[in-house]
Amino acid sequence: MSKTHRSEPSTRGFFGRIADHRLDYLYILPALGVMMLVIAYPIYYTVYLSFFRTPPSLAMQDKIFNGIDNYITILTAESFHEVTINTMVWTFWSTFMAMILGLGAALVLNREFVGRGVLRGLLLIPYVISAVAASYIWRWIYHSDFGVLGAILLQLGLIDDKLNLLDNVDLVLPSLIVVNVWKEFPFAMIMILAGLQTVPDQLLNAARVDGAGAFERFRHVTLPHLKGVLVITVLLLFVANLNHFTIPWIMTGGGPAGASDIWITQIYQIAFGRIRFGIASAYSVILFGVMVVIGYFYVKALTGDDDRRHG
């Protein structure tokens, strides 16, 4: 029994080593089991289905193999260009703004002061509440007739007509991005705050003694230590934003006239609105592709020095 857990290198081959460690696998078996069921099979099935023309019914019989027709349909669709641009704008600006606000908040909160814990807690609340609730709160704030934002701006004389953000083709996407940033900047903040705790005080003090100003200390001491965390946070946010469904779906449903439609809302609409699982699958595979490329860098950043530590 206990022999299986010895960690000295075995001289046996790959399968021999697997046999030596067979009990170790029991620990990960439950995790692996559900992951296979809920992740591996769906990936396979999505790719498979993307090559079929599916009938508009949920029973997946009578599907017809049609090669890459689904992909051609998507890439040549009139709306694809606009939706792709929306997706890029949404993903880039959400990530960028959340990082800026998160970094700023983390730098200020990293100092010791009375009430720091309370402040951190208050700033974290948007991150914790449900995206559905958040969407309704902001819909109410943005409301074209009774919204508090429009009323205040009007009162201050900053606008001269009622504010109709969510029905305006040019303003709808930025308005949604604000909501998204509100919801996720605390995540960036907490990650960066955790990263800041790894910056050694001695280094900062040494830099101070050498006469480095606040900005130089940040640039030459803090930033290099933060690099890893920043990379991971950006990638996590990037992926989360690329796949964010709830806020656009609840707030506008992609409208008006597709002005806030992004890939993920399109996929949902094609799959569960129009019941065209084949095309929706092909769309998902395209998204997969983008994700795998990003995922490669993500895993690399995440586990970069794991090899050196564990050998």
Partner 1 sequence: MNSRFRITRWHVMGWIFLATLLFFAVAPMVWMLITSFKSQFAALKYPPELIPQNPNLEQYERLLSPKNDVGRQFLRYMLNSIWVSTATTVFGVAVAVPAAYAFARFRFPGRKALFFSVLFRNMFPAVVFLMPLFIMMRWMGLVNTYTSLIITYLTFGLPLSIWLLKGFYDNIPVELEQAARIDGCTRFQAFYMVVMPLSAPGIIATAIYSFITAWNEYVYALTFLNDDEKLTLPVGLQRFFAEYATNWPGLMAASFIMSVPVVVMFLILQKYFVRALTEGAVKA
- Binding residues among 226-285 for partner 1 as defined by CB under 8 A: 228-229, 232, 236, 239, 242-243, 245-246, 250, 264, 267-268, 271-272, 277, 280-281, 284
Residue 83 or 267: which CB sits closer to partner 1? 267
By CB under 8 A, name the one of 28, 68, 72, 223 that touches partner 1.
28
Contacting partner 1 within 200-229 (CB under 8 A): 208, 214-215, 228-229
* Bond into 256 cis (ω within 30): yes
Q: How far is the CB of 73 from partner 1 (least distance, A)?
A: 17
- Label residue 268 exposed, middle or buried (CB < 10 Å: 0-12, 13-18, 19+): middle
By CB under 8 A, name the one of 11, 61, 76, 197 that touches partner 1.
197
Q: How far is the CB of 306 from partner 1 (least distance, A)?
A: 7
Q: Which stretch binds partner 1 (CB under 8 A): 41-49, 62-70, 79-87, 88-96?
A: 41-49
Alpha carbon distance 241, 92 (integer Å): 8
Token reading at 137: 């709160």
Q: How far is C-alpha 107 from the geometric centre of its chain's CA atoms?
A: 23
Residue 171 or 250: which CB sits closer to partner 1? 250
Q: How far is the CB of 190 from partner 1 (least distance, A)?
A: 6
Q: How far is the CB of 239 from partner 1 (least distance, A)?
A: 6
Residue 159 or 169: which CB sits closer to partner 1? 159
Contacting partner 1 within 49-68 (CB under 8 A): 49, 58, 60
Q: Which stretch binds partner 1 (CB under 8 A): 79-87, 163-171, 186-194, 252-260?
A: 186-194
Q: How far is the CB of 231 from partner 1 (least distance, A)?
A: 11
Residue 89 or 236: which CB sits closer to partner 1? 236
Contacting partner 1 within 130-169 (CB under 8 A): 130-134, 136-138, 140-141, 143, 145-148, 151, 154-155
Give the count of residues interacting with partner 1 (CB under 8 A).
Answer: 106
The candidate with the shortest Cα–Cα distance to 98, out of 284, 230, 290, 289, is: 230
Q: Do 95 and 235 form a contact (C-beta atoms < 8 A)?
A: no
Residue 68 or 214: which CB sits closer to partner 1? 214
Site string for partner 1, 61-100 (x = CB under 8 A): ----------------------------------------
By CB under 8 A, name the one of 88, 198, 219, 220 that touches partner 1.
198
- CA dist 268 → 135, 161, 175, 255, 286 (Å): 18, 35, 22, 14, 14
Does residue 25 interact with partner 1 by CB under 8 A? Answer: yes
